[in-house]
Amino acid sequence: MLSEQSRPVIEATLPVIGERIGEITPKFYARLFTAHPELLDGMFSRANQQNGTQQRALAGSIAAFASHLLAHPDTLPEAVLSRIAHKHAALGIPESGYPIVYDHLFAAIADDLGDACTPEVAAAWTEVYWLMADALIAIERGLYARQANDVMWAEWRVTAKEAAGAGSITFRLAPADETPVTRATPGQYVSVRVQLADGLHQARQYSLSDRVDSLTERVFTTKLDEGGEVSPFLHGHVNVGDVVELSNPYGDIELDDTDAPIVLATAGIGCTPSASILQSLAGSASRRPVLVLHAEQRAENWALEAQMREAVAALPNAELRLWLEEPTTAADAEAGFMSLDGVEMPAGAKLYLCGPLPFMRSIRSQAIAAGVAPTDIHYEVFGPDVWLAA
């Protein structure tokens, strides 16, 4: 809980920090990577640094955390912390990184605010930082402890590389070393780490896209991001027989074991976590009502179409609705963007969202208007979660 001394200082300075944080974070990262260039080798994404999304996510999360402490002094924003901690754990962020980030962040704040960064202001924001850092460290410790091993990167060999809709590929992998395998849960992701042509390691998170209960196989599907670094490498240079490094599975989407209806609303390559959830429901012959809502620009882009249709057909209480921006002959598709008008949301449904942010924002608002409880809405963002900053 925020101390009595710090509370009024945070209240008074949150707007200034909020306004300046867009300037502070690039300065912070420039300092951090000058002092620790090794953090760009396999930990931070070079692409996200270049496009600024990671900087907005971090900035947004600290401001969101401080606002939460002011509004709800007795609680922590669990969902925000959990999302970040899972991402951190999937990248092997060590506890020893927190004082390093603190030093460079606060040097950047002092530099940016100048005289306005009085000792009281610095002390109050230091308190916010460590409340957040300690909460993250505690969750991350718990996540590491849950794994079947204490290995950050295990070797996995590609056993199949399958086309999965225009521009997407499914990789199937088997363990290539003796590391004990952690069983994943549906909707989770793994980090995939590769060494690029210039020698730099880069890691990205990919949702597991098939059944996740296997201890001898991991399956993920990636869409080619032509401006990216890792998906072009995977698509172009990683073939059957090659070895890549995978993290343990992380990600805080959780499929509860109640009988509540499930609505999976996805767009584009956001179908991958849904596909693993569907496989797992079909694998356990679930009788839960399942409504699958999926949107694509074009029919041929739909990665995992066959797998998802088969799972829906195998489930006794599942229904699929499809929207296509450019409808073709697919008989069961509606034209245009997904809309919940005319979709009957089952009472008490758990809604899982995955897709581009504007899509998720729109469906979330429509779902709430249709009576879905905000606490029953779960989402997965690919890439840094700039929703946190909103």
Residue 87 binding ligand HEM, by CB under 6 A: yes
Judged by CB under 6 A, does residue 62 bind ligand HEM? yes
Smallest separation (angstroms) from ligand HEM to the CB of 351: 19
From 37-45, 209-217, 302-310, 342-350, span contacting ligand HEM (CB under 6 A): 37-45
Say how far apart CA 90 and CA 251 lie, in whole Å.
Answer: 8
Nearest to 354 by CA among 331, 375, 380, 372: 380
Full DSSP string of 155-211:
EEEEEEEEE-STTEEEEEEEE-S-PPPPPP-TT-EEEEEEE-TTS-EEEEEEEB-S-
Q: Of 69-77, 89-97, 185-193, 228-236, which part binds ligand HEM (CB under 6 A)?
A: 89-97
Q: How far is the CB of 38 from ligand HEM (least distance, A)?
A: 10
326 catalytic, yes or no? no
- 240 alpha carbon, distance to own chain's centre: 27
Report the distance separating Cα 214 and Cα 218, nearest Å.
7
Chain center to CA of 215:
23
The stretch near ligand HEM (CB under 6 A) out of 42-50, 172-180, 248-256, 340-348 is 42-50
> 127, 129, 140, 296: which one is catalytic?
140
CB 255 within 8 A of CB 278: no
Distance CA 233, CA 244 (A): 11
From the list 302, 356, 270, the residue with the least C-alpha distance to 164 is: 302
Task: Verify binding: residue 44, ligand HEM, rule CB under 6 A.
Answer: yes
Provide, rounded to whole angstroms, the least separation between the CB of residue 44 and ligand HEM. 4
Q: Is 101 in the site for ligand HEM (CB under 6 A)?
A: yes
Using CB under 6 A, which of the segments 85-93, 112-120, 224-232, 351-359 binds ligand HEM? 85-93
d(CA 13, CA 209): 44
83 binds ligand HEM (CB under 6 A): yes
Of 13 and 61, the one with the shorter C-beta distance to ligand HEM is 61
Secondary structure element (H or E) that encloses residue 352, with its range: strand 350-354
Choice among 29, 98, 206, 352 that is catalytic: 98
Q: How many CB atoms within 10 Å of residue 67? A: 15
Contact between residue 207 and residue 251 where contact means Cβ atoms under 8 Å apart: yes
Q: Is 109 in the site for ligand HEM (CB under 6 A)?
A: no
Closer to ligand HEM at the Cβ: 50 or 328?
A: 50
Q: Is 102 assigned a catalytic role?
A: no
Number of residues this chain uses to bind ligand HEM (CB under 6 A): 27
CB atoms within 10 A of CB 81: 20
Say if CB 86 and CB 190 are below 8 A apart.
Answer: no
Instruction: Kindly state the smallest distance separating residue 257's Cβ from ligand HEM, in Å.
Output: 26
Q: How many C-beta atoms lie closer than 10 Å to residue 159's C-beta?
A: 15
207 binding ligand HEM? (CB under 6 A): no
In the 8-state DSSP scheme, what is residue 274?
H
Among 97, 175, 232, 283, binds ligand HEM (CB under 6 A): 97
* CA 180 and chain centroid, separation: 24
Rounded CA-CA distance 379/350 in Å is 11
Lookup: tokens for 75:
């609680």
Binding mask 118-157 for ligand HEM (x = CB under 6 A): -----------x--xx--x---------------------
The answer to whether 93 contacts ligand HEM (rule: CB under 6 A) is: yes
Check residue 384 for interaction with ligand HEM (CB under 6 A): yes
Shortest CB 307 distance to ligand HEM, Å: 26
Residue selected from 13, 25, 61, 209 as contacting ligand HEM according to rule CB under 6 A: 61
**Looking at the annotation, which residues are catalytic?**
98, 140
What residue ranges bind ligand HEM (CB under 6 A)? 39, 43-45, 48, 54, 57-58, 61-62, 83-84, 87-88, 91, 93, 97-98, 100-101, 129, 132-133, 136, 384-385, 388
